[in-house]
Structures are given as structure tokens and as C-alpha cells.
Amino acid sequence: MTSSRGVEWTIWTDGACLGNPGPGGWAALVRGEREVLLKGGEAWTTNNRMELKAALMGLLATPEGARVEVRTDSRYLKNAFTEGWLARWQEHGWRTKTGPVKNQDLWEELLKAVQARQVRWAFVKGHAGIRENELVDRLAVQEAKSQRDPPGSEGRSGFRARRG
């Protein structure tokens, strides 16, 4: 996929959470005219929020108007865009059959980022040996652990990461 600027952008994303909710982390590998590795976390969050945050931050690292493929192991993220979930949620005032849409704030930010770019969504199987997916998974888990473990504790708190 090549943009009008002659640059192809690919973003690999992942999120992780220690417990759900609990300390979380996200990571995005952005490749195009440059390669950028982004990561971060939150002290109290959910796995889905971290999946959304990874995609958002990856997209924001690309120029507006760019052609981008986002590769994710989160069906929640991919299907919201490819199966019409977002459109239905908006049509119903950000409500589902069971109540308010969770993570509306991040969905709205993602919609803005997507509308400013030409985005294609691709599902990749997690933990299947795909180098880039394994990298962002590892970094997201590290970020989640860093939200929980103070420096020097060497991860002794006993939490296990829930991987997306």
C-alpha cells in the first residue's frame, strides 16, 4: 500500500493488562518513511483500553492523509471498524443493547485519527511467532509491569499479564 507521498505505513499494535482492570501497557511499532517504537501505560485500566491506545498513538505518529495498515491481534479493535460496530454505536447515541459503549473517549479519538488518514485494518493471530507482533506484545507487557512494579523490584508482585 503506497501513499500519494510514495510511503507505505504499517502499524503493529498490542495492549496488555495485569488483571482486567489493573495496571496496563500498550506498544505500537510504526513503519513508513521512518520507524518509530512507541509505548506507554496506565496504573489502572483495561486490556481493551490499552489495545485502543496503541492504535491511536500509532496512527497519530503518521501524517494526516497517509495510507496506513494497522495490524492488530484485537478483534474488538479491528471489528469495531470493519464490521460496522462504530457506526451503529454512533447511530444509537453511543449505546449498545446493554448500556453505554465502553471506552467512548478513545473510540472518538480513534475516529478522528482514522478520518484524517486512509486506514486499512488487518487481524493478526497473537502469539503465533510473528516477529513484529511478538515485539509489541513484549513491550506492552513490560509497560504494564512497570506501572505495577517500582524500580528495582524485578517484577516480584505476582501479577500476570493478560495479553490481548
- pLDDT band for 164, please (50, 70, 90 cuts): low
Q: Does the active-site annotation cover 149?
A: no
Cβ(160)–Cβ(69) under 8 Å? no
Between residues 15 and 148, which one has the greater pLDDT? 15
User: What string of DSSP letters covers 38-89?
Assistant: EEEEEEEE-HHHHHHHHHHHHHHTS-TT-EEEEEES-HHHHHHHHSSHHHHH
Q: Which residue has the higher pLDDT, 23 or 154?
A: 23
* pLDDT per position as a tens digit, 81-128: 999 999 999 999 999 999 999 999 999 999 999 999 999 999 999 888
51 is catalytic: yes
CB neighbour list of residue 76: distance below 8 Å, 6 or more residues apart: 48, 51
Q: Tell me, yes or no, if 14 is annotated catalytic.
A: yes
State in words which class domain 9-163 has. Answer: alpha beta
Band (2; pLDDT cuts 50, 70, 90) = very low
Side chain identity, residue 158: G
Please report, for the chain, the start and end positions of each structural domain, with discontinuous segments joined by +.
9-163
Catalytic annotation on 129? no
> What's the DSSP call for residue 10?
E
Q: Which of 32, 40, 42, 73 is catalytic?
A: 73
